[in-house]
Amino acid sequence: MRKKIIAGNWKMNKTVVEAAGLARSIADQAGEISDPLILICPPFTALTEVAMALKDSEIQVGGQNMHAEKSGAFTGEVSAEMLLTSGCSHVILGHSERRALFSETSAVVNAKTIAALVAGLIPVVCVGETLEQREAGTTNQIIEEQVGGSLDSLSEDDMLRTVIAYEPVWAIGTGKTATPDMAEEVHVYIRGLLAEKFSQEIADEVSILYGGSVKPANAPDLFARENIDGALIGGASLTAELFVPIVKTMEKLEV
């Protein structure tokens, strides 16, 4: 059974005090939910406080990025061990904002993914096409390059510990969501790539999240699709009132 995951990417939002308050509100409103797994990814500065605020809950904490090296002269960067020791279990890697604004190639994402796995973090590897790429009919090609490049040389065990998030760039923060059919089609394609690269058994075990303007109103139709195992959520993860109903939508589907 694939793990269902609802993850919140808070991006560069929330001070330490605000972040701890939001984490507590989410934990209070969610109650004792262990399926789906709830993952919260605050800014680095708030990781420790958020992890402390959530220590009595099932909710897990993740970083939004990390450097592939263990330590050294990399001003402004953090390592996998720093995330782990700040209370993280997961790390988002290759988010489209990192790829577009910080020039992260799939090779860079691959090095980070391997470093995260070696350190014991679960990578949430993001892939997704731009609007131009979709309109040019190259979505599958882009996804193939990003999946293949970002997951290069992973072992079967590594792959089983890795989560993928399909996030069409044109749907992130725009209010435009991929239709459930569009999202499902790409998720099936990604699973097919994993089956080719690893095996069908492994492909069937990997959680593939959808991201891009997920809201309480569109979550039920997305989550009803067979290959959509949860969501990576930006805007709607910034308030408990929007985030928790999405979690509960997935929880109800599980019953």
* Shortest Cβ 169–ligand PEP spacing (Å): 10
Q: How far apart are CA 95 and CA 128, in angstroms?
A: 9
Q: How far apart are CA 240 and CA 19, in angstroms?
A: 11
Residue whose CB is nearest to ligand PEP in the complex, by number: 234
Catalytic residue among 97, 104, 129, 167: 167
* Shortest Cβ 233–ligand PEP spacing (Å): 5
Nearer to ligand PEP, 61 or 236 (CB): 236
Catalytic residue among 49, 67, 90, 95: 95
Residue 54: both structure tokens together: 């959530």
Characterize 150-182 residue by residue with b for buried, 16 or more Cβ atoms within 10 angstroms of its Cβ, and e for exposed: bbeebeeebbeebbbbbbbbbbbeeeebbebeb
- As a whole number of angstroms, the longest Cα–Cα distance in the chain is 49
SS3 state at 163? strand
- Look at residues 83, 166, 153 and name the one whose alpha carbon lies nearest to residue 113: 153
Nearer to ligand PEP, 39 or 233 (CB): 233
Nearer to ligand PEP, 151 or 172 (CB): 172
Nearer to ligand PEP, 198 or 243 (CB): 243
Enumerate residues 6+ apart whose C-beta is below 8 A from 223: 230, 231, 249, 250, 253
Residue 91: both structure tokens together: 């790390």
Interface positions with ligand PEP (CB under 6 A): 9, 167, 172-173, 211-214, 232-236
The tally of CA atoms less than 13 A away on the side-chain side of residue 25 is 15
Nearer to ligand PEP, 177 or 227 (CB): 177
Residue 231: both structure tokens together: 């969501």
* Shortest Cβ 232–ligand PEP spacing (Å): 5
Say which amino acid occupies 53. A
187 among known catalytic residues? no
* Shortest Cβ 72–ligand PEP spacing (Å): 29
104 among known catalytic residues? no
Q: How far apart are CA 246 and CA 250, in angstroms?
A: 7
* Shortest Cβ 97–ligand PEP spacing (Å): 7
Give the residue numbers marked as catalytic: 95, 167
